[in-house]
Amino acid sequence: ATMAPRHEFTPVQNAAQGVGGGQNQGILIVRHKTSGKVYIEKRIPPCLITQGDTRREVRAMGQCSSHPNIVRLITYDLNTPAHIPYGSLYLQHCELGSLDALMLRYAARGQYLADEGFVWKVFFDLSLALAKLHFGADEQLSRARAAIGKDAKPIAGWNPITHRDIKPSNIFLT
């Protein structure tokens, strides 16, 4: 991902609308003005940019951008002029929302997710994403190795990435 100006995007709505909570502060659904494609904008306070946290996040997301089970960083704008007091990461929009939102929709109807296979698919895909983060493991190779009962194969020289906030509201569905 490369740095792009935020004026290329227009906000559509706050991601917290209709999602069931205030967990998504600073998260907006945006539309690219030229392509019309929908993305997520994650707004970052300047203090996190100057501390280097955001640049580390951009690097980590760049390392994992080709993995199908990790949200893709499309572009970013970390300039924080006085009239725009935040940086922006533009991410893949996961149109089905979070696992947490799905669970809340079922709970609101007094129902449970009846498809156990779906739950196992989510866990398996999460394990593939974690294998990428921790070991740099290739997704296709990890699938093949799992099918024969073998662990993911670590990539030599990979710098492990620790997520530190895995929870249903941070697991997105497409």
Residue 14, SS3 per DSSP: strand
Q: Are 37 and 91 in contact (CB under 8 A)?
A: no
- Structure tokens, 33: 């003005």
pLDDT tens for each residue of 95-136: 999 999 999 999 999 999 889 999 999 999 999 999 999 999
Output phi, psi for 152, to 5 deg. Answer: -60, 150
How far is the C-alpha of 38 from the C-alpha of 77, rounded, in Å? 17
Q: How far is CA 34 from CA 9, 38, 48, 92, 158, in A?
A: 9, 11, 30, 16, 36
Q: What is the pLDDT of residue 19?
A: 44
CATH number for the domain harbouring residue 34:
3.30.200.20
Q: Which range marks the domain in which residue 35 is found?
A: 2-170
Closest CA to 99 of 19, 163, 22, 171: 171
Report the mean per-residue pLDDT for the chain: 91
State how many domains the chain has: 1
Structure tokens at 46: 């300047």
pLDDT of 16: 64
CA dihedral sign of residues 91, 92, 93, 99 = negative
Global pTM reads 0.88
Contact 14, 27 (CB under 8 A): yes
* Nearest-5° Cα angle at 59, 53 to 140: 130
pLDDT in tens, 18-50: 444 445 579 999 999 999 999 999 999 999 998
